[in-house]
Structure 1
Amino acid sequence: MRRRRFVQLGTPLFTGALVAGCRGETPADDRARPAPPSGGPAPKRVMPEEGQPHERTWMAFGVSDRVWEPAQVPVAQRNLATIATAIARFEPVSMLVRQDELDLARGLVGDANVELVAAELDDLWMRDTGPVFVHSGNDTAGVDFNFNGWGGKQGHPRDAKVAGFVTARAGAETVHTDLVLEGGGIEVDGEGTAIITESCVLNENRNPGKSKKDVEAKLADLLGLKKIIWLPGIAGRDITDGHTDFYARFARPGIVVAGLDTDPQSYDHEVTERHLAILKAATDASGRPLRVEVIKGPATVRPEFASDDFAAGYINFYLCNGGVIAPEFGDAEGDSAARATLERLFPDREVVQLNIDGIAAGGGGIHCTTQQEPAGKP
């Protein structure tokens, strides 16, 4: 379902600090909100559910031939533009782009509602490198979860700075923590419940010595969590050590969409069956049993980029204002079944299916390339 290669970056692509601004955009410092006054209790923080209203979506046009196969680079770049322009039909998109690729990116996104922001990048996975936005009191903040290249598996000197850069660009406060995790490793319902994989967040390559109790206490403060449903995941088989967003997603509070790998030869087959059993027996923070909807992966994919790295799963969709941006893989039956399930679960949203084979060949999906900035506190 999800596999990313383990790659170490060599010579830096750029030197110097991240630089904001493109086509006369306002510098980040001019858009920043004043820091909250010192003293007094810290504001209560809550991570909204992805389906709640967004201010914008953040992405990164960071495909590099130091990480990707050369033949995949232009295809993945076109896929990123396709995702960005699809989302831009529903809400603004801000995309980080290397300085020397601004013209290329602008040519691909055209006149869509996509703001290009010059920045230094190692790769394109904004879900993991970007901040996790929360409502903080009456304002918005971004939690920097100390991206470390998925446990030191890939070079990340520039991507380690993306969370702070994006938070400043959004004019939000940065919240610091000693926890190391990625946005793709946590799924929330916005009402205090989260689904997290043990294989990622409790891994020694991220949070050595920390127990479930330690992590739960910190995430209660950072994200307003009251209950975590722990899935085992599977470590060491892909670069993420088994992120949640390829296994289970909240459609809304009380309803979870779960993936099922039906191939008995796949390493994900047994673990996805275990996940389904756990989710079907679980209750959320309000005590209600979860309704679990299953979407099986495609039986076949288009052959051009098919490989063991190919991430062939429908669970990695993205919710934006009025839309569901989802993948299709050329399997007529599987694509149609996934679409029908998403249309049933999200009757007030338009389901848009995209060919993202270049991104999938790199081991990720649509959700992995995006990070939502929620609208002001409801």
Structure 2
Amino acid sequence: MYCVESETPKKDGFRMPGEWEPRRRTFIQWPVRDGKNGRTGLWPDGMEVIKETYAKVAKAIAEYEELVMIAPGCMYEEVKGYCGDKVKICSLPIDDSWIRDNGPTFLVNENQELAEVKWRFTSYGEKYQTHYNDSKIPEHLGIIYDVPVYSTHLAVEGGGIHSDGQGTILTTESVLLKDSRNSQYTKEEVTYLLEEYLGGDQVIWLKSGLYGDLTDGHVDNTACFVKPGVIMAQACYDKNDPDYEIFKTNLEILKAARDRSSGLPYEIIEVEKPPVTYYKGQILTLSYINYLPVTGAIILPVFGGTAEETDKKAVELFKKVFPDKDIVTIDGTPICRGGGCIHCITQQMPLGKSL
């Protein structure tokens, strides 16, 4: 691993691939925020439930590709007990369990060489103070897997960006333009930096993410590229739902956008969102967009209860959209109660020349 300072990834021929492109492995960080040492932001259902849920996600992924669980060395035996022998363990100090956001964004070039971007990780605009160890994960993985690291002062969480692999980046204004993250940059400057560090030529700016999202509206709850030219968006058809106006505005933006390669409008696939669901007086951010494509499968969150009908619709839709993949469903509710879902707790490394 070495840090690159002279050029940007785009100038060096790197790009952020689409999530459907060939993969080397997937990473997860083990849940550790148990309230000790003055930590806040506890899992409301307790550690046992969330560890069982993370283990289910890890074991499901490990059936299709290599899964590496990052955990403090003192938790090695615990992780092994929950996750079994198919899940590999990487012992590193961590503060929390959202590697999509604090981990690296992996890049690839035409020679199938890998690189990664280390964003400035602020723990969602300094909402949580304990994030020193998490901010070091990109550097650690760069060393372990011998991947060069590009570092930037732009504050980005991985859940706040999606790529079509061909130069278009999808994001939200409510996250990247928030003063607590990037007050020193204009929208034009953030656009330029995203393009330079992700190898892009176009940024589609949605106004905001889902209502009540603790991240301020990450795009990975709202919309994603399914493949070049095709975007899936979580749709809201209930005018009494606070997400209705958000969806309406974002849909207009998506319909006005054009695919760079073809010049044509995007095909937009709408997946109906679950009904409004409360937990301890707060609306949960439930999203089918927060799925993870792996080698040969889609790991899809479902939510049960009042969402049983939309769960069924989502499963049928995903079977049509991904006819060549297994659709593996996992109850995402315990993770959502902590502020994210399956996509949020994972980060993929593309297939390329690496360890």
TM-score (norm 2): 0.89
Are the counterparts in 1 of residues 32 and 97 from structure 2 also a CA contact under 8 Å? yes
Look up the match of 1:43.
12
Q: How far is the alpha carbon of 1:80 from its aligned partner?
A: 0.8
Look up the match of 1:131.
104
**In structure 2, do the counterparts of structure 1 residues 307 and 191 end up closer, same or farther at CA, with 3 Å as the change threshold?**
farther
* Match among 277, 281, 284 for residue 256 of structure 2: 281
Q: How far is the alpha carbon of 1:274 from its aligned partner?
A: 1.0
Unaligned runs of 5+ in 1: 1-31
Q: How far is the alpha carbon of 1:218 from its aligned partner?
A: 1.6
**In structure 2, the residue corresponding to 1:206 is in which secondary structure?**
helix
Q: How far is the alpha carbon of 1:261 from its aligned partner?
A: 3.3
* Match among 172, 187, 192 for residue 162 of structure 2: 187
Are the counterparts in 1 of residues 3 and 149 from structure 2 also a CA contact under 8 Å? no
**In structure 2, do the counterparts of structure 1 residues 38 and 263 end up closer, same or farther at CA, with 3 Å as the change threshold?**
closer
2:348 maps to amino acid = Q
Look up the match of 2:219.
244
2:309 maps to amino acid = E
**In structure 2, do the counterparts of structure 1 residues 245 and 35 end up closer, same or farther at CA, with 3 Å as the change threshold?**
closer
- Between the aligned partners of 2:281 and 2:32, the Cα distance in structure 1 is 19
Look up the match of 2:38.
none
Map 1:313-332 → 2, pairs under 5 A: 313-330=287-304, 331-332=307-308
**In structure 2, do the counterparts of structure 1 residues 179 and 38 end up closer, same or farther at CA, with 3 Å as the change threshold?**
closer
TM-score (norm 1): 0.84
Are the counterparts in 1 of residues 210 and 246 from structure 2 also a CA contact under 8 Å? no
1:118 maps to amino acid = S
Map 1:332-371 → 2, pairs under 5 A: 332-371=308-347
**In structure 1, the residue corresponding to 2:224 is in which secondary structure?**
strand
Q: How far is the alpha carbon of 1:221 from its aligned partner?
A: 1.8
Look up the match of 1:64.
33
Map 1:1-378 → 2, pairs under 5 A: 43-66=12-35, 67-69=41-43, 71-112=45-86, 114-136=87-109, 138=111, 139-155=113-129, 156-233=131-208, 237-286=212-261, 287-299=263-275, 308=282, 310-330=284-304, 331-376=307-352
**In structure 2, do the counterparts of structure 1 residues 70 and 276 end up closer, same or farther at CA, with 3 Å as the change threshold?**
closer
Q: How far is the alpha carbon of 1:265 from its aligned partner?
A: 4.3
**In structure 2, do the counterparts of structure 1 residues 235 and 292 end up closer, same or farther at CA, with 3 Å as the change threshold?**
closer
Q: Which moved more, 1:88-97 or 1:67-76?
A: 67-76
- Between the aligned partners of 1:251 and 1:140, the Cα distance in structure 2 is 22
Are the counterparts in 1 of residues 210 and 222 from structure 2 also a CA contact under 8 Å? no
Hey, which bits of structure 1, 4+ residues long, moved more than 4 A? 34-39, 234-237
**In structure 2, do the counterparts of structure 1 residues 102 and 311 end up closer, same or farther at CA, with 3 Å as the change threshold?**
farther
**In structure 1, the residue corresponding to 2:179 is in which secondary structure?**
coil
**In structure 2, do the counterparts of structure 1 residues 240 and 122 end up closer, same or farther at CA, with 3 Å as the change threshold?**
same
**In structure 2, the residue corresponding to 1:367 is in which secondary structure?**
coil
1:87 maps to amino acid = I
Are the counterparts in 2 of residues 314 and 338 from structure 1 also a CA contact under 8 Å? yes
Q: How far is the alpha carbon of 1:37 from its aligned partner?
A: 12
**In structure 2, do the counterparts of structure 1 residues 300 and 235 end up closer, same or farther at CA, with 3 Å as the change threshold?**
closer
Q: How far is the alpha carbon of 1:213 from its aligned partner?
A: 1.8
Are the counterparts in 2 of residues 62 and 98 from structure 1 also a CA contact under 8 Å? no
- Between the aligned partners of 2:53 and 2:221, the Cα distance in structure 1 is 19
Look up the match of 1:8.
none
2:328 maps to amino acid = V
Unaligned runs of 5+ in 2: 36-40
Deviations 1:230-268 (A, max 9, x none): 101059944311100000011101111101234444433
Are the counterparts in 2 of residues 147 and 182 from structure 1 also a CA contact under 8 Å? yes
Are the counterparts in 1 of residues 5 and 151 from structure 2 also a CA contact under 8 Å? no
